[in-house]
Chain A
Amino acid sequence: MASVPRSFLLLSIIPTILLLCADFACCNTGRKTGDGLDTDFSGFSVPLEHSFEVDDVSRFRVRGALQLRGGRETSVSLSQSQLSEEDRNTLKEVAVVDGLYKIRVPRVSLTDRQTERQMDGYLTAFVRACSLVESHLSDVITLHTDVSGYLIGVSIVTIPGACRGTEVEDEVDLEAFNTTLTIIAPTNAPQPETALFIERMDIEHEKRGKPQEQKSFFAKYWMYIVPLVLFLMMSGAQDQSGGGAANGGGR
């Protein structure tokens, strides 16, 4: 059952490999071909490289090509080749000695292609090779940009993330990457939210304000005044009657 989608995947990958070969040629000739297309933001491609060595000395090889598209909506796509037999074996060996699988992308700007500033250096990230093997090469690569569209960081995580020491028997599992690729720009931190607060305050004021509209003193405190008056009247009357009774007694 699982073999069906896998073979389908394989089929779909072959053309991409072919495409990639063409792509690499583009990359090797430099970015100039990309530059010509820049004006209409049709994107450009940068290599995604990886390195996994038993002795932990970085030797980066091309893993695939990132198609970056700047402009209003940044988008990114990745075309990558399968791992060769040799690479698969190395990766397994690295996983056994708990080595690292590193990736790197060159520092580029997504928006500002015209000025073509020479940005030297790479952005590097890593994941434990064993987790990559155990996840059957399913990884999530995230590219981070800053406000002006420069790539500032790259990160890689595998799903699932942990190394449990399970053996990967099937060679087919380690052939093709199952990569999810995202690009993240900084979010805007919120400003103090005054409008909603004022609105809420107004509503509260209205709620409170309405029943207390211009009441006269008597209207407000009639419940105290009336009993008081009644009490005074009653006591006065009692006094009189009491006095009368006393007088009567005296007679």
Chain B
Amino acid sequence: IEPSAIMYKSTSLFVIFLSLFVVSEAVFEDQVGKFDWRQQYVGKTLFAHFDSHSQTSKKLFLATDKNIFASFNSRTGDLFWRHVDKAGPEGAIDILLLHGQDALMVVGDGRLLRSWDTNMGGLNWEAVLDTGSFQAACFVAIQDTVKHLAVLKNAAISLHYLTNGHQKWVENLPDRDTVQYQAVYSGGEEEIYVLGVVPNSHLTIIAYSLEDGEIIKQRSVEAPWLSSVESSCVVVGQGMLMCVDPGTLALYTLPIQAEETPQFSQTLLQSLDLEVSPGFQPVLVSSQPHPARSPISEFFLQLGPHHHVLLQLNGDGYTIAPLRDFQPAFLVSFATTGEKTVAAVMTPKNETACAINLFSADSGRRLLDTTVIFPLDLNGGKPHKLYVHAFLKKDDSVGYRVLVQTQDHALTFIQQPGTHTDTGTYTQTLEQLFGHNDHRYVWRKKGEACKPKNTIPTVKHGGGSIMLWGCFLFGIDSKSGSILWKHYLENVQPNAVFKLIVQRTTAHFPHPPQCTLLIKDKDTGLASLHVFNPIFGRKSHIALPVLPRPILQSLLLPVIDQDYAKVLLLVDDQYKVTAFPSTKNVLQQLQEMASSIFFYLVRSDQGNLSGFRLRKDLSTERIWEVVLPTDVQKIVAVNGKRPNEHVHSQGRVMGDRSVLYKYLNPNLLAVVTESTDTHPERAFVGMFLVDGVTGRIIHEAVQRKARGPVHFVHSENWVVVSSSCCSCSSCSSCSCCSSSNSSCCSCCSRSNSSCCSRSNSSCCSRSNSSCCSRSNSSCCSRSNSMGLPSGAILSLPKMFLDPRRPEVVTEHSREENLIPYAPEMPIRTEWFINYNQTVLRVKGIYTAPSGLESTCLVVAYGLDIYQTRVYPSKQFDVLKDDYDYVLISSVLFALFFATMISKRLAQVKLLNRAWR
């Protein structure tokens, strides 16, 4: 008894010791930002305003499609503050208006009206608006002071005080079933005009009294050519409505206030010597510098993609005179300072640059010394929108600053004077990554893979990562987060899906590393390949295979050609296989091993999983089929194992000295389904483990009363599934499955003895995404990374998800290092690997092994990008930060010299003794 008792004691001590290890995972204060970086983004800019409150202000205000209201430093592009609202249409920003220090915002399709203090970013007030979908809003001024905001909805118009958001009056709109009310206009008078249209019939103008919301006058004007006020009409000059009709190619003008004019007056474009590009819908641009005054009488008419004309409405209100023709001109914009209104025009200069010039709005003359050069990045997309802020210089001339939004949703701030006082692109081009709602970007991190093998250890965490958004491919330094290169992909459909494949790493010098991007159009299924060097982003000039048929599946084989590139197989909709690269050598190898190449296809719309085998002539035969009826459950996710995954250890010694072997099937697929029945009592989440070669269902489990969104991690011999349970809204449950199998034979003929154990714990928080840590040879324990909605990234040690955790602690389980089962998963703040750096709206987490065994690189992406390292088993192979090199080396030297001296002394002593 005695020795075992001692052993028991020592093991329990060991457990405590280990648990201490697990717990003490945190960074020191001076390590903040040393191993990690975070980039905060805002999305695609919808509204942008300069802070015109003071001349020297450096603030910029943006509202984006990601429901974010943010303020930037215009000189550096740094984020002052940002407010992230609810995702989806509930938090969508309908309009952003700036008045003095206040920013007014209508949110959620007319649900809320908010006023922000632009200095601090604090909320002044918030008012709940009546129901109805938002149409338009404008400031209303009385006697040169802006006091109210008019909000037009499809059924009502309301007037709100700017000081506190209280509603002054609200009026229902007449005939709202037939008339589409689309615009509201106030020119500083006592009336507000609401413009509505019955498409292709007539225009309705209603004037409301500012005081009490009474309808002063109402009239309708024949306009059979008009379909939308919003897209084809602007207000110009002294309350003249100016519309353009692409059908008759004419401009129509109508005084809004005057009652005596019963109809529009028509001016044919031809009479002005103007011609619209074929197929182009002409666009009008006007400017109202101050809400208390009427808009300026000059306006732009866009006649073609690169053709703008500056026009002026004469004092009589009917004759239109062209002031200046701008062709070619990419973008135009008005800006006002004091009494002067200028027009900024961006014209192409040469292949790589654009010039921006200022023109006087009332004469169309070019202002001297106002040229600014905007360099065009061929890989960055074309300029998309121009925001101009004009100001008066000391000598009373007009100076200006420009904000250029390009197609990649990057913002560039250019300041006059000077040719290009560029101040860095806003949030470095990348903010747009998250500009689109669908996750169309792919992440691939290559820690060591992209670095030459013989790099010194200090840069082992280096390497690049590639990310993709829309048509742009980025290479990002994983050490600092800076963009190394970017590439514009041509001819990519907006709904394309991507897959990134590493065909060759840097290990094969002098062959450059090679990545292949598979781009597939979601509608047609047609695919194309983009092959590039991941280090420099250069497109490689390899002959690409012709892919005339839709591609269903891609498969990266471990087979390499004579250039050390792994072979990629593409399966088309006739189940024919195309190999890339398809040299003779590769085809020969494929023929030899054809009978051992299997692949699977999943059709989630039909609930169908099927397996195929490759034939020697590169055709295929269907060999198995599993069908999950779609009226019961639908497949939401299928996840195989990573081809390069290494396994921790094959077996595990149990408390009774027997060995539990892991069921390590490299072909295992985890299939997760959700029930079509969403009733809380009957909903379920199904989990299937299917062998991808034989189609055998190895395990089949159902989590009752659970529903998605489901996130799961499949690695080694376990699957962690997190779903939310129906009874408690914010509860995730994690089941873990580990199976053991003692027989190991070929994959086609496994015997039937696998056993699964499961356990379930509830976590207090829903997870957004999850991923598990990986290391080079998997000697370390694993931990699961989960993104929480609060913005934290939780690194949950695998130990806490072990399905073999005992309910009652026994000696055996203690010896095995199993912690006792607890139904609730603890969330400790030390486990937040991003400490206080909130990462919002995490959509996915990607992990990659690094060159060091102990270290795993983690990237969380979503709205922000966050990269850090995790050490699931502590840094056993890294010297401490505060390791004292000086002391160690001085001691070494001292010892060395001491040895030398004592040797000499000993020699002398020996000599002396010999003489004696």
Q: Which A residues contact B (CB, under 8 angstroms)? A: 56, 58, 98, 100, 102, 104, 107, 119, 121-128, 131, 140, 142, 144, 146-148, 150, 152-153, 155, 157-163, 184-194, 196-197, 200
Q: Which residues of B contact A153 (CB under 8 A)?
A: 626-627, 690, 695-697
- Nearest first, the 10 A-B pairs at minimum CB distance are A161-B749, A155-B696, A153-B626, A192-B823, A186-B700, A189-B703, A124-B625, A186-B702, A189-B701, A190-B760
> Which single member of B621, B627, B735, B743 contacts A121 (CB below 8 Å)?
B627
Let me know if B701 and A193 touch, CB within 8 A.
no
Nearest CB in chain A: distance from B2 CB, A: 25
Let me know if A144 and B686 touch, CB within 8 A.
no
Flag whether B622 is at the interface (Cβ < 8 A).
yes
Flag whether B684 is at the interface (Cβ < 8 A).
yes
Let me know if B750 and A157 touch, CB within 8 A.
yes
> Considering only CB atoms, which chain A residue lies closest to B763 in the complex?
A192
Interface positions, chain B 805-829, Cβ under 8 Å from A, are 807-808, 821-824
Interface positions, chain B 672-704, Cβ under 8 Å from A, are 675, 684, 686-687, 690, 694-697, 700-704
Q: Which residues of A contact B697 (CB under 8 A)?
A: 142, 144, 152-153, 155, 184
> Which single member of A102, A126, A189 contacts B758 (CB below 8 Å)?
A189
Interface positions, chain B 716-761, Cβ under 8 Å from A, are 725, 733, 735, 743, 745-746, 748-752, 758-761
Which of A102, A127, A163, A192 has its CB near the most chain B CB atoms (within 10 A)? A192
Let me know if B733 and A155 touch, CB within 8 A.
no
> Which single member of B626, B627, B758, B808 contacts A190 (CB below 8 Å)?
B758
Q: Which residues of B contact A197 (CB under 8 A)?
A: 807, 821-823
Q: Which residues of A contact B700 (CB under 8 A)?
A: 144, 146, 184-187
Tell me the bound Cα distance from A102 to B694 in angstroms: 11
Q: Which residues of B contact A102 (CB under 8 A)?
A: 623
> Which single member of B623, B705, B746, B752 contacts A100 (CB below 8 Å)?
B623
Q: Which residues of B contact A98 (CB under 8 A)?
A: 595
Q: Which residues of A contact B625 (CB under 8 A)?
A: 104, 121-124
Flag whether B488 is at the interface (Cβ < 8 A).
no
Tell me the bound Cα distance from A69 to B762 in angstroms: 38
Let me know if B751 and A146 touch, CB within 8 A.
no
Let me know if A187 and B702 touch, CB within 8 A.
yes
Let me know if B694 and A188 touch, CB within 8 A.
no
> Considering only CB atoms, which chain B residue lies closest to A199 in the complex?
B807
Let me know if B761 and A192 touch, CB within 8 A.
yes
Flag whether B615 is at the interface (Cβ < 8 A).
yes
Interface stretch of the complex, out of B118-126, B219-227, B628-636? B628-636
Tell me the bound Cα distance from A153 to B611 in angstroms: 12
Nearest CB in chain A: distance from B361 CB, A: 69
Let me know if B760 and A192 touch, CB within 8 A.
yes
Q: Which residues of B contact A188 (CB under 8 A)?
A: 701-704
Nearest CB in chain A: distance from B325 CB, A: 66
Q: Which residues of B contact A159 (CB under 8 A)?
A: 751
Q: Which residues of B contact A185 (CB under 8 A)?
A: 700
Let me know if A142 and B752 touch, CB within 8 A.
yes
> Which single member of B628, B690, B725, B749 contacts A157 (CB below 8 Å)?
B749
Q: Which residues of A contact B821 (CB under 8 A)?
A: 193, 197
Let me know if B632 and A148 touch, CB within 8 A.
yes
Tell me the bound Cα distance from A95 to B629 in angstroms: 34
Given A142-B752, A153-B695, A155-B696, CB of A200 within 8 Å of CB of B745:
no
Given A161-B745, A200-B808, CB of A147 within 8 Å of CB of B696:
no
Given A146-B628, A186-B686, CB of A157 within 8 Å of CB of B760:
no
Tell me the bound Cα distance from A191 to B684 in angstroms: 12
Given A144-B700, A157-B696, CB of A190 within 8 Å of CB of B622:
no
Nearest CB in chain A: distance from B305 CB, A: 52
Let me know if B628 and A189 touch, CB within 8 A.
no
> Which single member of A123, A155, A187, A191 contacts B701 (CB below 8 Å)?
A187
Flag whether B624 is at the interface (Cβ < 8 A).
yes
Q: Which residues of A contact B701 (CB under 8 A)?
A: 186-189
Tell me the bound Cα distance from A161 to B743 in angstroms: 10
Given A124-B622, A197-B821, CB of A190 within 8 Å of CB of B735:
yes
Let me know if B807 and A196 touch, CB within 8 A.
yes
> Considering only CB atoms, which chain A residue lies closest to B625 in the complex?
A124
Given A100-B623, A125-B694, A192-B823, CB of A152 within 8 Å of CB of B761:
no
Interface positions, chain B 799-851, Cβ under 8 Å from A, are 807-808, 821-824
Interface positions, chain B 8-65, Cβ under 8 Å from A, are none
Tell me the bound Cα distance from A58 to B703 in angstroms: 37
Q: A56-B615, A189-B687, A194-B823 are in contact. List 8 more A-B contacts (CB 8 A).
A: A98-B595, A146-B700, A161-B750, A186-B701, A188-B704, A191-B705, A192-B760, A197-B823
Q: Which residues of B contact A161 (CB under 8 A)?
A: 743, 745-746, 748-751
Q: Which residues of A contact B733 (CB under 8 A)?
A: 191-192
> Which single member of B595, B621, B632, B746 contacts A147 (CB below 8 Å)?
B632
Q: Which residues of A contact B751 (CB under 8 A)?
A: 157, 159-161
Nearest CB in chain A: distance from B52 CB, A: 57
Sample of 11 A–B contacts (CB below 8 Å): A102-B623, A124-B695, A125-B695, A128-B748, A142-B697, A147-B702, A152-B627, A157-B696, A157-B750, A161-B750, A188-B704
Nearest CB in chain A: distance from B294 CB, A: 67
> Which single member of A124, A140, A193 contacts B823 (CB below 8 Å)?
A193
Nearest CB in chain A: distance from B516 CB, A: 31
Nearest CB in chain B: distance from A113 CB, A: 15
Q: Which residues of A contact B808 (CB under 8 A)?
A: 200
Nearest CB in chain A: distance from B593 CB, A: 13
Tell me the bound Cα distance from A102 to B735 in angstroms: 34
> Considering only CB atoms, which chain B residue lies closest to A196 in the complex?
B807
Tell me the bound Cα distance from A96 to B51 in angstroms: 82
Nearest CB in chain B: distance from A178 CB, A: 15
Interface positions, chain B 466-498, Cβ under 8 Å from A, are none
Q: Which residues of B contact A131 (CB under 8 A)?
A: 748-749
Q: Which residues of A contact B750 (CB under 8 A)?
A: 157, 161
Which of A58, A140, A147, A159 has its CB near the most chain B CB atoms (within 10 A)? A147
Nearest CB in chain B: distance from A99 CB, A: 10
Q: Which residues of A contact B695 (CB under 8 A)?
A: 124-126, 153, 155
> Considering only CB atoms, which chain B residue lies closest to A107 in the complex?
B627
Nearest CB in chain A: distance from B591 CB, A: 15
Let me know if B632 and A146 touch, CB within 8 A.
yes
Let me know if A162 and B746 touch, CB within 8 A.
yes
Q: Which residues of A contact B627 (CB under 8 A)?
A: 107, 121, 123, 152-153
Given A144-B697, A161-B745, A189-B702, CB of A124 within 8 Å of CB of B629:
no
Tell me the bound Cα distance from A4 to B95 in angstroms: 90
> Considering only CB atoms, which chain A residue lies closest to B691 in the complex?
A155
Given A150-B632, A152-B627, A162-B745, CB of A126 within 8 Å of CB of B694:
yes
> Which single member of A58, A142, A150, A193 contacts B760 (CB below 8 Å)?
A193
Tell me the bound Cα distance from A144 to B686 in angstroms: 13
Q: Which residues of B contact A162 (CB under 8 A)?
A: 745-746, 749
> Considering only CB atoms, which chain B residue lies closest to A182 in the complex?
B752
Tell me the bound Cα distance from A127 to B273 in angstroms: 79
Q: Which residues of B contact A158 (CB under 8 A)?
A: 749
Which of B626, B684, B735 has its CB near the most chain A CB atoms (within 10 A)? B626
Let me know if A127 and B748 touch, CB within 8 A.
yes
Q: Which residues of A contact B615 (CB under 8 A)?
A: 56
Nearest CB in chain B: distance from A17 CB, A: 28
> Which single member of A58, A150, A190 contacts B629 (CB below 8 Å)?
A150
Let me know if A147 and B748 touch, CB within 8 A.
no
Tell me the bound Cα distance from A161 to B749 in angstroms: 5
Tell me the bound Cα distance from A242 to B6 in angstroms: 52
Let me know if A157 and B629 touch, CB within 8 A.
no
Tell me the bound Cα distance from A184 to B702 in angstroms: 13
Let me know if A126 and B623 touch, CB within 8 A.
yes
Tell me the bound Cα distance from A56 to B610 in angstroms: 17
Tell me the bound Cα distance from A162 to B675 in angstroms: 38
Tell me the bound Cα distance from A191 to B627 in angstroms: 27
Q: Which residues of B contact A123 (CB under 8 A)?
A: 625-627
Q: Which residues of B contact A192 (CB under 8 A)?
A: 733, 760-762, 823-824
